[in-house]
Amino acid sequence: MRREVPLTIVFICGAFMAFQYFVPHYASATVYEYALNWTTIISIFTLAVGIGSLVNLHSDRIARRKPTWRYSIVTLAALAFMTILGVSSPDALSNPTGLFMKVYFYILSPVQATMFALLAFFIASAAYRAFRAKTLLATLLLLSAVIVMLGRVWVGDMLTGWLPEGLRFSYVANYILDFPNTAAKQAIYIGVGLGVAGTTLKIILGIERTWLGGGK
Amino acid sequence: MGPILKRFFLDLSFPLLIFSVLIVKPCVAVDRKPTIKDPESPGDYVFRYKTLAPDPGPPGRLIAADAPNDAGGTIIVSWGKAPGDNGIFDTVKGYIVYRSEAPDTGFSMLTRLPAGSGSYSDASPENGRSYYYRVASIYADDTLMAAETAGAIPRTQFFHTRRILVLLFMLFFSGAAIFLISHSKKGGDLYIRPIAGIDAVDEAIGRATEMGRPILFVPGLGEASRVATIAAFTILGRVARKVAEYQTRIIVPNYDPVVMTICQEVVKEAYAAAGRPEAFDVKDVYFVTQDQFPYTASVNGTMLRERPATNFYMGMFYAESLILAETGFVAGSIQIAGTDQLIQIPFFIASCDYTLMGEELYAASAYLSREPQQLGTLKAQDWGKVAAILLTGAGIIAYLFSRGAGDALKAWVIGG
């Protein structure tokens, strides 16, 4: 019963979702909307489970004086501070001059932007490793990347301006992006679409059960 | 020379007079008074060729129809644009839509729309009742009601007619999958090509055991309802079972609380299946935050402190993919990634040792279990690909034989 009940629920819900996609009737749309609302409600409740996990993990680290226990104090203090700020005022989330939003705008947002900015440096280091011409395919990748990069900036056309238009870097770069690149992307998209359809079918029919825990 | 010039000018004088009356005079009038003031926007000048603009008139043909393929409650009203509403003269200020439940009387204003509008979707009617519409065009000095009235009854539909192709493909795919599942159950041999990223899983776990370091499994930023995340659960189950057998440790930081709950269950069951339920520590599968970059920072910190021997990135990833993978590289971990996010695949290929691209992530379940049922659906995917190839070929041929393709080919050959 521990497995049969969830599998039956998944089959009924999955079959209904497939059915409602083709049936725009009022009754079908109402049930669909009702189901989506319930998903949102359940998600909100699970946030409490997530916070419980966070508090449990960091409390344990502090209690056991694990190597990073001081960071855990900062985490729990920040969690408590923001929670108190959030519930202390009814307009905490809508008032841009309130302390809650100030912390968000002047501390959290810059920190997130800093983290995102690291991406530029990581792209450079990853590209350096990826573009080493060890094999024929890697050499082709390197050449394509060089052409596309140069074709996107003025230097590309400055270097190849004396050539016919069809051989200039900007033209070749656009050609690479518009044809071989798009063709490969479409092929992956088709594969992903079929993979999603196959996995969905397996879940609805109860063939795929790993999400229940354990699996076979 | 003199008489010739005199004769020439005399002959031309009459046509020149006609020309000046017909053409030059209106132009002079336009030049003298090229703009008029917009009464609704003082200070703004609407440039229009007054002498050429058509006379004001009501909107054109009015049509009201029940919105197709919906749950009902919507009527779409459309009309032909009024004279002057063509983007050149700009003499039309807008339209007013009126509605009534009787065809002749009781019309009240429903909405006012800007110039250039040609339709309005009324989402307030009740199903099964008749509604009638009239539309008026607004000019600077006048509002002109269309003579005709259009009516419709909103109804709910039972079938979405524009999704017939999707239904046919779904039936084809499901039928193929069921047929192939039954075929493989009977003992039919189904070949599945080697996937290096999945083959490397055992090797990566063995390496972690030898080094005495943990394994980090990142299930991505997707919700539990995303198919890529569900595929990640499958791989997590397999990895966790091996981890339990090899008596090493697995760390699973989560972005979504629901995903965390499922991951805890999957890992717990895997430990139980391996005969070591007591080794499972629920604190190793934990929730971090639902903010993208704070989550990334936390996982990066875990990588640099714990120095995991192997990192798995399975599921949905966005801008954080390269930040995670490059930090893992710096930490000296073997890295195996799998995602269906097309834009992130090149980043993972550049930074990770193995990458499951798109459908390979979904094939992992069948590849790992080798169950006939799983392999049957995998084969159905291949049939789907064959259908896609055939449709693409048919599309290319149809295009080549179309008029547009013929013109393009001709232009290419003759350089026209």
CATH assignment, B62-152: 2.60.40.10
* Residue B311 phi, psi dihedral angles, 5° rounding: -115, 130
Residue B175: per-residue pLDDT: 92
User: How far apart are the C-alpha atoms of A156 and B357, rounded to whole Å?
Assistant: 32
What is the DSSP annotation of B254-294?
Answer: ESSHHHHHHHHHHHHHHHHHTT-GGG--GGGEEE--SSHHH
Kindly give the residue spans of alpha helices, DSSP state H, lying in B186-256.
196-211, 227-246
A140 plus A82 within the same structural domain: no
Which of B69, B353, B369, B381 to mutate to probe the A interface, most A CBs <10 Å?
Answer: B381
Q: Which residues contact B208 (CB under 8 A, 6 or more apart)?
A: B214, B215, B243, B246, B248, B308, B309, B310
Number of domains in chain A: 2
Residue A177: per-residue pLDDT: 94
Collapsing DSSP to helix, strand or coil, B84 comes out as coil
Q: Count the neighbouring beta carbons within 10 Å of the beta carbon of residue A60.
A: 13
Q: Is residue A162 part of a domain?
A: yes
Radius of gyration for the alpha carbons in chain B, expressed in angstroms and rounded: 36
Collapsing DSSP to helix, strand or coil, B87 comes out as coil
Collapsing DSSP to helix, strand or coil, B311 comes out as strand
Query: Locate tokens 């290419």: which residue?
Result: B412
B160/A123 CB distance under 8 A: no
Minimum-distance CB partner of A215 among B156, B160, B237 = B237
Which of these three, A88, A114, A149, is where a domain ends? A88
User: How far apart are the C-alpha atoms of B381 and B176, rounded to whole Å?
Assistant: 9
Q: Which residues contact B276 (CB under 8 A, 6 or more apart)?
A: B244, B245, B247
Residue B13: per-residue pLDDT: 53
Q: Is the pLDDT of residue A215 over 60?
A: no
A22/B384 CB distance under 8 A: no
Residue B381's closest chain A neighbor by CA?
A194
Averaged pLDDT for residues B9-29: 47
Averaged pLDDT for residues B143-165: 90
A136 plus A192 within the same structural domain: yes
As a residue count, chain A comes to 216
Domain span including residue A210: 131-216
A1 plus A84 within the same structural domain: yes
Question: C-alpha angle with apex B226: B221 to B228, nearest 5 degrees?
Answer: 75
Residue A3: per-residue pLDDT: 79
Q: Mean pLDDT score of chain A, rounded to an integer?
A: 90
Sign of torsion over alpha carbons B319, B322, B323, B328: positive
In this structure, the strands spanning B35-37 and B45-47 are antiparallel
- Distance (Å) from the alpha carbon of A185 to chain B's nearest alpha carbon: 7
- Write the Ramachandran bin of B280: left for phi over 0, alpha for psi from -120 to 50, otherwise beta: beta
Contacts of A111 in chain B (CB under 8 A): 293-294
Q: Is residue A105 part of a domain?
A: no
Question: C-alpha angle with apex A71: A65 to A74, nearest 5 degrees?
Answer: 115
Collapsing DSSP to helix, strand or coil, B216 comes out as strand
Q: Is residue A151 part of a domain?
A: yes
Q: What is the pLDDT of residues B290-331, one digit of tens each?
A: 999 999 999 999 999 999 999 999 999 999 999 999 999 999
What are the residue ranges spanned by the domains of chain B? Answer: 62-152, 161-192+370-416, 196-366
Q: What is the pLDDT of residues B279-301, one digit of tens each?
A: 999 999 999 999 999 999 999 99
Q: Is residue A171 part of a domain?
A: yes
Question: C-alpha angle with apex A115: A110 to A117, nearest 5 degrees?
Answer: 90
A73 plus A146 within the same structural domain: no
User: How far apart are the C-alpha atoms of B356 and B231, rounded to whole Å?
Assistant: 11
* Cβ(B76)–Cβ(B62) below 8 Å: no
Minimum-distance CB partner of B322 among A43, A119, A207 = A119
Structure-derived torsion over alpha carbons of residues B157, B159, B162, B164, reported in degrees to the nearest 10:
-170
**B74 shares contact with chain A (CB less than 8 Å):** no
Q: Which residues between 244 and 303 in chain B have a beta carbon less than 8 angstroms from any beta carbon of chain A? A: 254, 256-258, 260-262, 265-266, 268-270, 272-273, 283, 286-294, 296-297, 301
Pick from A134-143, A179-188, B88-97, B364-373: least confident: B364-373
Task: Tell me the pLDDT band of A132, cut-offs 50, 70 and 90.
Answer: confident
Q: What is the pLDDT of residues B43-59, one digit of tens each?
A: 444 554 555 778 888 99
Q: Which residues between 30 and 59 in chain B have a beta carbon less than 8 angstroms from any beta carbon of chain A? A: none
Averaged pLDDT for residues A182-195: 92
Q: Is the pLDDT of residue A112 over 90?
A: yes
Query: B289: number of CA atoms within 13 Å, CB side?
Result: 15
Contacts of A30 in chain B (CB under 8 A): 71
ipTM of the complex: 0.89
* Cβ(B154)–Cβ(B70) below 8 Å: no
Minimum-distance CB partner of B322 among A42, A50, A123 = A123
User: How far apart are the C-alpha atoms of B134 and A5, rounded to whole Å?
Assistant: 56
Query: Locate tokens 């980043």: which residue?
Result: B347
Task: Tell me the pLDDT band of B4, cut-offs 50, 70 and 90.
Answer: low
Which of these three, A37, A63, A88, is where a domain ends? A88
* Cβ(B295)–Cβ(B289) below 8 Å: yes
User: How far apart are the C-alpha atoms of A87 and A141, rounded to whole Å?
Assistant: 54
Contacts of A191 in chain B (CB under 8 A): 358-359, 381, 385
User: How far apart are the C-alpha atoms of B221 and B321, rounded to whole Å?
Assistant: 10
- Distance (Å) from the alpha carbon of B190 to chain A's nearest alpha carbon: 16
Residue B236: per-residue pLDDT: 93
Contacts of A28 in chain B (CB under 8 A): 71
Which of these three, A88, A106, A139, is where a domain ends? A88
| Element counts in chain B: helices (H) and strands (E) | 12, 16
User: How far apart are the C-alpha atoms of B98 and B116, rounded to whole Å?
Assistant: 18
A138 plus A63 within the same structural domain: no
State the fold for domain B196-366: Rossmann fold (3.40.50)
* Cβ(B151)–Cβ(B64) below 8 Å: yes
Q: Is residue A177 part of a domain?
A: yes
A47/B257 CB distance under 8 A: yes
CB pairs under 8 A between A and B: 212
Contacts of B261 in chain A (CB under 8 A): 46, 49
A211/B233 CB distance under 8 A: yes
Query: B374: number of CA atoms within 13 Å, CB side?
Result: 18
Q: Is residue A39 part of a domain?
A: yes
User: How far apart are the C-alpha atoms of A6 and B54, rounded to whole Å?
Assistant: 69
Averaged pLDDT for residues B359-381: 84
